[in-house]
């Protein structure tokens, strides 16, 4: 019954979009404002995994819808459209808060995995809209009814009162809040990659998220050129550092899995190898570090193979021949792809020797 109600609410959101007539837009705005936050709050407190999983899917679709709305708002330069952008930013923040809870839901791995998958698309929507709408957004904005800065001040006491009132009328921009929530969500997902207590399927999905976020933050695959040095919300050097963190999460995850994992040649290892290979080929920023992580991991795995052979498999948990073959093949294919497509400057010196061996 609750699932049916949630589906009806989603239809209400979809049936009234920004580009329809004013009455319908107002109705959609009111529905979002009144229903969205309490709806997602009820989803994350629900114990039925079916409802929680549907909440993950709904989060993804709502973020896409909000992204479409944001694009429509940005085409109109008016006070009302600015207010709509702020309102939409608040809606994004509400959805991201719910996803943060769901990606941490270790009780239901299927929910956690679906929430992580939904977060990849949600993060892209937020980054693109923060880039477009945040160019001139001061994290602190004037709320309605704020005083005119040029208003005449008659005496010192009046000036102090007006200054206090002006400060009280300032509030945190929802567009900035949206971006903060997205970063918190990304950090939580990144931490899951190396967390051995987390389900392997969730860790694999987390690795895919990190691959996607790493490339997006490095400016790959979208109009990153809109982020100018004067951008108020997004700073190019900060985006670069955030991208580095996602690449390092992949490298650390691969290192932990190969050195300590019970399945050093399992699907998680193959996913991490593929993710680092893709990052190496598609981003010049990450080419050297990604290749270094892969070469180091390959060397460590080779040593683990030899160690196991030396002990005659007496250490327990022996790696099967088929698993070894799968991991070896994954490394070989990835290194071949890197040799063909990665920037030439990345393949030199010790890395070139390591790649060859």
| CA proximity to 64, closest of 129, 134, 20 | 129
Per the structure block, which two tokens stand in for 2?
A: 């609750």
How many CA atoms lie less than 13 Å away from 223 in the CB half-sphere?
Answer: 7
Total Cβ atoms within 10 A of residue 123: 23
Q: Note the helical H segments in the chain.
A: 2-15, 22-44, 49-74, 79-103, 109-133, 156-168, 174-193, 200-217, 236-260, 267-282, 287-311, 321-341, 349-356
- The dihedral formed by the CA atoms of 213, 218, 224 and 226, expressed in degrees to the nearest 10: 110
Inter-axis angle of helices 174-193 and 236-260, to 10 degrees?
20
How many Å apart are CA 205 and CA 253, to the nearest integer?
12
Within 8 A by CB and 6+ apart from 84, the residues are 18, 29, 69, 73
**Measuring CA to CA, how many Å separate 176 from each of 31, 130, 220, 340, 347?**
23, 8, 22, 41, 39
Q: Which residues of the chain have pLDDT under 50?
A: 18-25, 27, 144-156, 158-159, 162-163, 165-169
- Summarize pLDDT for 246-301 with one digit per residue, the tens: 999 999 999 999 998 889 999 999 999 999 999 999 999 999 999 999 999 999 99
* 221 Rama sector, left if φ>0, alpha if ψ -120 to 50, beta otherwise: left
Enumerate residues 6+ apart whose C-beta is below 8 A from 72. 17, 18, 19
């Amino acid at each position: 019954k609750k699932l049916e109600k949630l589906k009806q609410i989603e239809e209400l959101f979809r049936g009234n979009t920004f580009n329809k007539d004013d009455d319908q837009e107002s109705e959609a705005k009111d529905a979002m404002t009144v229903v969205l936050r309490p709806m997602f709050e009820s989803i994350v407190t629900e114990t039925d995994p079916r409802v929680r999983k549907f909440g993950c899917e709904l989060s993804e679709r709502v973020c896409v819808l909000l992204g479409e709305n944001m694009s429509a708002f940005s085409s109109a330069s008016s006070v009302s459209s600015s207010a709509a952008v702020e309102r939409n930013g608040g809606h994004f923040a509400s959805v991201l808060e719910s996803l943060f809870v769901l990606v941490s839901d270790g009780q239901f791995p299927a929910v956690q995995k679906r929430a992580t998958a939904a977060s990849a698309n949600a993060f892209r929507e937020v980054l693109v809209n923060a880039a477009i709408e945040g160019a001139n957004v001061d994290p602190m904005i004037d709320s309605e009814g704020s005083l005119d800065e040029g208003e005449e001040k008659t005496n010192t006491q009046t000036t102090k009162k007006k200054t206090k009132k002006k400060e009280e009328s300032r509030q945190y921009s929802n567009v900035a809040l949206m971006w903060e929530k997205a970063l918190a969500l990304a950090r939580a997902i990144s931490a899951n990659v190396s967390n051995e207590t987390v389900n392997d399927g969730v860790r694999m999905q987390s690795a895919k998220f990190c691959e996607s976020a790493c490339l997006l933050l490095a400016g790959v695959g979208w109009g990153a050129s809109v982020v100018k040095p004067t951008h108020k919300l997004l700073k190019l050097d900060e985006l670069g550092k955030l991208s580095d963190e996602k690449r390092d999460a992949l490298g650390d995850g691969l290192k932990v899995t190969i050195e300590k994992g019970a399945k050093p040649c399992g699907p998680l290892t193959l996913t991490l190898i593929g993710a680092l290979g893709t990052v190496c080929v598609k981003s010049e920023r990450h080419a050297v570090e990604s290749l270094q992580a892969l070469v180091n991991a390959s060397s460590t795995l080779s040593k683990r193979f030899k160690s196991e052979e030396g002990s005659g498999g007496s250490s327990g948990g022996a790696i099967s021949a088929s698993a070894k073959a799968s991991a070896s093949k994954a490394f070989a294919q990835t290194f071949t792809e890197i040799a063909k497509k990665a920037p030439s400057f990345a393949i030199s010196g010790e890395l070139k020797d390591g790649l060859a061996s």
